[in-house]
Amino acid sequence: MSGAALERLHGAPALNPPTPVHLRAALAAGWLDFVAAPAFGLLAAALSLLAGWAMTALTIWAGHTFWLVLGVFGFPLVAPITALGTYEVSRLRGLGETPTVGRVLQTLWAERTRQLPPLAALMMFMLLFWFFLGHMIFALFLGLKPMTNIMSSADVFLSVDGLMMLALGSLVGGLFALLLYAICVMGLPMLLDREVDYVTALLTSIGVVRANAGVMLAWAVFIALLLLLAMLPAFLGLLVVLPWLGHTSWHVYAGLRVE
């Protein structure tokens, strides 16, 4: 790998305010990266697809299909982790380098001694905490009621208690999603791009979201809806949407970065 691909500047970069025009340009650039170098994005998306199928089969087999609901709504919380390889592909292309699966895997393996693992661990902890809270909310409203399998009937969720549970669960899940989004939208690509500690990266990312709340919240809603729609047809849409959004996320960050 060339020195240009390995060299990283120190410290968090200054970041320009995002605009709708910039976000649309990032979507277009992300699609071009996906088409030009689809191998790693398709590999990561295929692993996510298999994980989704396995989770569905396990919850149906165990008869605890409520966990499937938590999993579907929890996946967007950690989806950025699965897109790290696409960040590196786009980073290499931006440097004029030729990305290959081997080079991307080599870079990601090297990250094990840097700052990405602590941030990834924080994201996974928040996902597990979301599962814990989601189960508590379910027990609070429906714990004493017979559970209807949601694969055959949604009646249990259409009761008064069921609707209240969904409302509270959606609120709590939305707050988790917002916090993780604020941490990751600039934090993850920054850690791949710069020599910076993960606390500085996540605080910088939160600062960008807070300072540009309207645009960044609209972008978050767009990402969440696209991921949820991609999961509807047996998770198959993730094969395209996940790599595309991964490449796009890199371009959102890189396009705002002040060199």
Domain residue ranges of the chain, discontinuous segments joined by + = 17-256
Do the Cβ atoms of 85 and 104 come closer than 8 Å?
A: yes
pLDDT at 49 over 80: no
Least confident interval from 3-7, 71-75, 89-93, 155-159: 3-7
pLDDT at 148 over 60: no
Decide: pTM greater than 0.85: no
Taking only the tens place, the pLDDT of each residue in 165-215 is 778 877 887 788 888 889 989 998 999 888 899 899 999 999 999 999 999
pLDDT at 68 over 80: no
Q: What angle do CA 204, 73, 81 make, to 5 degrees?
A: 45
pLDDT at 155 over 70: no
- 179: closest CA among 140, 198, 160, 205? 205
Give 4's pLDDT tier (boundaries 50, 70, 90).
very low
The residues with which 195 forms a beta bridge, in sequence order, are 10
pLDDT at 2 over 50: no
pLDDT of residue 58: 65
Least confident interval from 23-27, 29-33, 145-149: 145-149
Q: Is 10 helix (H, G, I), strand (E, B) or coil?
A: strand
